[in-house]
């Protein structure tokens, strides 16, 4: 069956967290520019953070399934989403489902698409730590790969990881990471919109930019508990040497201890989660970042900011290979030593901060949409894994 020339390709974009909003926004914009339908189906996994991040790109979700609970596990999210998404797919009749990354929402979106025999397109495919952590994201990524018809890998090594898992090489395209596209869009806004830049600068007037700025983010599940205590103890010591800016993740396992250890401490700025332009503004001015985030590990090298990674393993190995990022774990003495060494040695900070493009040049969304829009629309009802998208 071939669809008529007037058929508009319809993509349902399933997403629910801040990084998904940031990294899918460039694709949604590019699809719509090409005249395709990009229906944004929010899961509600994270409500405010998701919608705020999307709004930064002038986008609004078409609907929100609102599955968020005050305290929720990945099992709660996946268990609620698979049937809810299936019902929506039955009505929306998409040509393909787009999911991004490794969240419970992406995993559920891929499952629902797979069961409905709708081709699943995986953006940011093939990242692997090769360990059981990050948990449960490493397993999500592997499982999504098995259920997807088309894989957009940000790097060659991501492509190799997929091929090692017997994914058909013809279904994998190396495009760079759309997070870099999003970063460039925000950089351009900050440059062109003087009002926006001035408003952001005003919000951070309490941060003393004459001191080195250490921007920190912590949110990973495996860093809850004792490991978080180690990170917070390090930040408390580092505040004597640098301005510490920590946008605090709203999860009570992070926000409770962060407030208890750091609130009111001189040199520490505990902030609510920041909108993406404000976060990028700070990143542009940071001496270094201390982070367990995946996306921030990708953004920092593109801006020439050294990243010290608060983890023992990472699936973003390219930044380590280019020397832009280093794993420092969560032991307070090791974190403090790594930060002070860097701050004391401007040549070392310069070397780590040499801007490089391990995650692409910022044209990933265009490449992806060229591939999606350049192909014939996919008839529904075919087994997802045998369909050529």
DSSP-assigned letters across all residues of 121-187 = EEES-----SSS-STTHHHHHHHHHHH-SEEEESSHHHHHHHHHTT--GGGEEE---HHHHHHHHHH
Q: 171 or 291, CB closer to ligand UDP?
A: 291
CA distance 302 to 6: 40
Catalytic residue numbers, as ranges: 102, 124, 137, 219, 221, 249
Are 59 and 23 in contact by the 8 Å Cβ rule? The answer is no
Can the peptide bond before residue 136 be classed as cis, meaning omega within 30 degrees of 0?
yes
Give 82: exposed, middle or buried? Use CB within 10 Å, 0-12, 13-18, 19+: middle
Q: Can residue 299 be called a binding residue for ligand UDP (CB under 6 A)? A: yes
CB of 183 to ligand UDP, least distance (A): 7
Stretch near ligand UDP under the rule CB under 6 A, chosen from 83-91, 261-269, 270-278, 330-338: 270-278
Of 217, 324, 330, 366, the residue at the interface with ligand UDP (CB under 6 A) is 217
CB of 346 to ligand UDP, least distance (A): 25
Q: How far is CA 171 from CA 119, 150, 329, 386, 388, in A?
A: 12, 5, 36, 11, 8
CA distance 225 to 221: 9
Residue keyed to tokens 């001015």: 285
Query: Residue 165: which of 147, 183, 188 has the closest Cα?
Result: 147
Q: 56 or 119, CB closer to ligand UDP?
A: 56
Torsion angle, alpha carbons of 300, 51, 142, 301, to 10: -10
Stretch near ligand UDP under the rule CB under 6 A, chosen from 35-43, 116-124, 206-214, 287-295: 287-295
Are 140 and 106 in contact by the 8 Å Cβ rule? The answer is yes
CB of 10 to ligand UDP, least distance (A): 27
Length of the chain, please?
389
Binding to ligand UDP (CB under 6 A) within 3-62 occurs at: 18-19, 22
Q: 207 or 378, CB closer to ligand UDP?
A: 207
Query: Residue 156: which of 184, 177, 134 has the closest Cα?
Result: 177
CB of 168 to ligand UDP, least distance (A): 27
Task: Show the tokens assigned to 150.
Answer: 């088309």
Are 153 and 175 in contact by the 8 Å Cβ rule? The answer is yes
Q: Can residue 219 be called a binding residue for ligand UDP (CB under 6 A)? A: yes
Stretch near ligand UDP under the rule CB under 6 A, chosen from 106-114, 274-282, 329-337, 352-360: 274-282
Of 294, 301, 353, 358, the residue at the interface with ligand UDP (CB under 6 A) is 294
Q: Can residue 276 be called a binding residue for ligand UDP (CB under 6 A)? A: yes
Q: 100 or 171, CB closer to ligand UDP?
A: 100
CB of 379 to ligand UDP, least distance (A): 34
Q: Return the H-helix or E-strand segment holding 318.
A: helix 317-321
Q: 273 or 353, CB closer to ligand UDP?
A: 273
Q: 148 or 217, CB closer to ligand UDP?
A: 217
Q: 274 or 342, CB closer to ligand UDP?
A: 274
CA distance 34 to 38: 10
Of 94, 247, 257, 353, the residue at the interface with ligand UDP (CB under 6 A) is 247
Stretch near ligand UDP under the rule CB under 6 A, chosen from 64-72, 229-237, 255-263, 294-302: 294-302
CB of 385 to ligand UDP, least distance (A): 27
Stretch near ligand UDP under the rule CB under 6 A, chosen from 66-74, 206-214, 293-301, 338-346: 293-301
> Site residues (CB under 6 A) for ligand UDP?
18-19, 22, 179, 217, 219, 247, 273-274, 276, 279, 293-296, 299
């Amino acid at each position: 069956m071939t669809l008529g020339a007037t058929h508009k390709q319809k993509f349902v974009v399933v997403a629910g967290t801040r990084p998904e909003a940031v990294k899918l926004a460039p694709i949604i914009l590019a699809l719509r520019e090409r005249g395709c339908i990009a229906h944004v189906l929010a899961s509600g996994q994270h409500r405010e953070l998701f919608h705020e991040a999307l709004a930064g790109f002038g986008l609004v979700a078409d609907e929100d399934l609102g599955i968020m609970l005050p305290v929720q596990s990945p099992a709660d999210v996946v268990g609620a989403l698979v049937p809810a998404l299936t019902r929506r797919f039955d009505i929306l009749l998409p040509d393909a489902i787009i999911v991004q990354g490794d969240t419970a929402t992406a995993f559920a979106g891929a499952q629902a698409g797979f069961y409905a025999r709708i081709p699943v397109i995986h953006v940011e495919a093939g990242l692997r730590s090769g360990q059981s952590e990050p948990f449960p994201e490493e397993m999500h990524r592997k499982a999504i790969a098995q259920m997807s018809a088309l894989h957009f890998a940000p790097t060659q090594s991501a492509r190799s990881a997929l091929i090692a898992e017997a994914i058909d090489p013809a279904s994998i395209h190396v495009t760079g990471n759309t997070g870099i596209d999003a970063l460039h869009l925000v950089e351009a806004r900050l440059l062109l919109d003087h009002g926006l830049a001035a408003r952001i600068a005003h919000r951070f007037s309490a941060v003393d930019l004459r001191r080195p700025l250490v921007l920190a983010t912590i949110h990973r599940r495996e860093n809850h508990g004792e490991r978080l205590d180690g990170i917070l103890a390090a930040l408390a010591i580092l505040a004597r040497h640098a301005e510490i800016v920590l946008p605090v993740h709203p999860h009570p396992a992070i926000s409770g201890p962060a407030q208890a250890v750091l609130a009111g401490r001189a040199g520490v700025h505990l902030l609510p989660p920041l909108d993406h332009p404000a976060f990028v503004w700070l990143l542009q001015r940071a001496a270094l970042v201390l982070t367990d985030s995946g996306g921030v590990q990708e953004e920092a090298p593109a801006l020439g900011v050294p990243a010290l990674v608060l983890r023992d393993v990472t699936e973003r190995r390219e930044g380590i290979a280019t020397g832009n990022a280093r794993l420092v774990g969560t032991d307070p003495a090791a974190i403090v030593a790594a930060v002070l060494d860097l701050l004391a040695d401007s040549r070392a900070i310069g070397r780590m901060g040499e801007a490089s493009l391990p995650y692409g040049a910022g044209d990933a969304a265009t490449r992806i949409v060229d591939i999606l829009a350049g192909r014939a629309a996919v008839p529904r009802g075919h087994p997802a894994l045998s369909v050529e998208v």
